[in-house]
Amino acid sequence: MDDRSEVTMTRAEYDLLKAKAENNPKFTDDGSRYDSRGYRTIDGMEEADINGDGHIDNAELNMHLEFKRKELEDADAMRDAQRRMAWFSLLGMLLYPFAVVGASFSGLSEAQATLGDMAPTYFVAVAGIVAAFFGAQAFTKGK
């Protein structure tokens, strides 16, 4: 047998050739497959095929689209919550020195000392929150 006689083709091309040879009406020229109910198989949407029959009917497609919509809404809500947390943290960093000055003017020396002692830890923790938020934003935009 000659090595040059080997033929390579995709599964879709093979199915189309076989269907044309058998005059099978379930296949079209673009390789799309239809089952006996008239439902079309969509390549790349295997996760939408809930019952595993290889075809996606209207109920499965609607459930898949609803799941994707909910997934997008959840991701949007998470981004909004992270954005609010970052802005709240930044506002806290800006107002913290005013709390120390306000305690000093009010004559609360104990409060002033406590706020002054907490400042290094507070600023590092809040800076970490803000840095994580902006780093994640930069990473996702870079992808």
Residue 69 located in a structural domain? yes
Residue 11 located in a structural domain? no
Residue 89 pLDDT: 87
pTM score: 0.52
Count how many domains the chain has: 1
pLDDT tens-digit map of 71-94: 999 989 988 988 898 889 889 888
Range of the domain at 78: 39-142
Residue 51 located in a structural domain? yes
Q: Which residues contact 15 (CB under 8 A, 6 or more apart)?
A: 27, 31, 33
Residue 64 located in a structural domain? yes
Structure tokens at 50: 């809930």
